[in-house]
């Protein structure tokens, strides 16, 4: 007769288990053997289901941000729709830490389009590009050659944007992946504005448009960007730190003014 532990009182059952342990028993054994191969097969089937149930999540993780950006930018039919589409782009992590989406400022019919790097603290707060100390210097610089973002006539106007519409943390330089995923939007932006010439303001703007850095060597030399004549210039923030470089910036401004006169 076989006794089950359930049929015994607590103290008797405990005494039997201790006695078996003293005899060398180290694991319980059932009345019938267990086929471990069958058990493994049965438990493996449910484990496969979660992977099959979430194919869409895998596709989202595998999505290439640059490919998605190209498709999204191509959908835009105007500056307004481009701003709406770009502001809804969620694959750039900079968006998560920024206060505002900074798209552009000035007259979209302007002959001159300035493309800067990225918003800083003041721009992130106000939602407009080049409004801090560097932006104020930029306004004074271009005012000296008769151009202003507030001008209504295209001959006297400026249109200003950045490669990145969201502020990088602590104003760090944008990384190559961030530039690459914003580049389709920049290209589409230029297509809609269709300026006579472009000013590439700073290293990031040159990296995006020309695939090159080294603004101190690039500045002052006409090149082509986005199918337009382009002049690389040192960023106003650099000029605030290096006042001696303002003489070179003035020479670049005179080049821009002369080129505009030629293109009339």
What's residue 32's pLDDT?
65
| Residue 131 and residue 119 in contact, taking contact as beta carbons nearer than 8 Å | no
Q: Could you tell me the sign of the dihedral formed by the alpha carbons of 69, 73, 75, 76, in that order?
A: positive
- Any domain includes 33: no
Q: In this structure, is residue 8 part of a structural domain?
A: no
Report yes or no on 50 lying in a domain. Answer: no
Q: Which of 180, 105, 195 is nearest to 150 (CA)?
A: 105
Domain assignment present for 5: no
Tell me what pLDDT residue 9 has: 72
CATH code at position 210: 3.40.470.10
Flag whether 48 is in a domain. Answer: no
How many CA atoms does the CB half-sphere of 248 hold within 13 Å? 19
Distances (CA, A) of 65 to 31, 53, 167, 233, 247: 60, 24, 18, 29, 41
Q: How far apart are CA 147 and CA 113, in angstroms?
A: 11
Asked if residue 54 is part of any domain, the answer here is no
Q: Copy the structure tokens of residue 203.
A: 């290293």
Q: Which among 153, 183, 186 is positioned nearest to 260, based on CA atoms? A: 153
Question: How many CA atoms, within 13 angstroms, populate the side-chain half-sphere of residue 236?
Answer: 21
Tokens, residue 173: 């330089």
User: What's the number of domains the chain is made of?
Assistant: 1
Full residue range of the structural domain in which residue 257 is found: 67-262
210 in any annotated domain: yes
The residues near 263 (Cβ < 8 Å, ≥ 6 apart) are: 111, 196, 197, 229
Helix (H, G, I), strand (E, B), or coil: what is residue 195?
Answer: coil
Residue 12: per-residue pLDDT: 72
The 10 Å Cβ neighbour count of residue 123 is 25
Digits of tens for pLDDT over the chain (264 positions)? 455 555 667 667 766 776 666 666 656 666 666 665 565 554 445 445 444 444 444 444 568 999 999 999 999 999 999 999 999 999 999 999 999 999 999 999 999 999 999 999 999 999 999 999 999 999 999 999 999 999 999 999 999 999 999 999 999 999 999 999 999 999 999 999 999 999 999 999 999 999 999 999 999 999 999 999 999 999 999 999 999 999 999 999 999 999 999 997
Site of tokens 């106000």: 126
- Structure-token match 């602590």, residue found: 170
d(CA 36, CA 215): 69
pLDDT of residue 50: 47
Query: d(Cα 264, Cα 260) in Å, to the nearest integer?
Result: 7
- In this prediction, residue 6 carries a pLDDT of 57
Asked whether residue 192 is domain-assigned, the answer is yes
pLDDT at residue 38, rounded to an integer? 60
């Amino acid at each position: 007769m076989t006794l089950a532990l359930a049929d015994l009182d607590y103290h008797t059952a405990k005494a039997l288990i201790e006695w078996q342990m003293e005899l060398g028993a180290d694991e319980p054994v059932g009345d019938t053997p267990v086929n471990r191969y069958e058990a493994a097969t049965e438990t493996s089937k449910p484990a496969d289901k979660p992977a099959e149930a979430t194919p869409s999540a895998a596709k989202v993780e595998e999505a290439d941000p640059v490919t998605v950006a190209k498709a999204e930018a191509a959908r835009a039919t105007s500056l307004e729709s481009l701003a709406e589409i770009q502001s809804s782009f969620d694959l750039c992590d900079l968006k998560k830490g920024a206060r505002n989406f900074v798209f552009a400022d000035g007259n979209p019919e302007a002959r001159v389009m300035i493309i800067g790097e990225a918003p800083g603290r003041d721009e992130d707060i106000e939602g407009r590009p080049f409004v801090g100390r560097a932006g104020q210097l930029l306004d004074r610089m271009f005012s000296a050659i008769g151009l202003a973002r507030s001008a209504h006539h295209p001959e006297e106007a400026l249109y200003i944007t950045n490669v990145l519409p969201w502020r990088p943390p602590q104003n760090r330089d944008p990384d190559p992946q961030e530039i690459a995923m914003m580049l389709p939007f920049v290209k589409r932006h230029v297509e809609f504005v269709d300026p006579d010439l472009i000013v590439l303001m700073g290293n990031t703007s040159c990296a995006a448009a020309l695939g090159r850095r080294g603004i101190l060597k690039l500045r002052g030399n006409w090149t082509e960007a986005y199918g337009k004549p382009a002049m690389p210039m040192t960023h106003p923030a650099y000029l605030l730190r290096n006042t001696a470089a303002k003489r070179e910036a003035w020479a670049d401004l005179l080049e821009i003014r002369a080129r505009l006169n030629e293109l009339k």
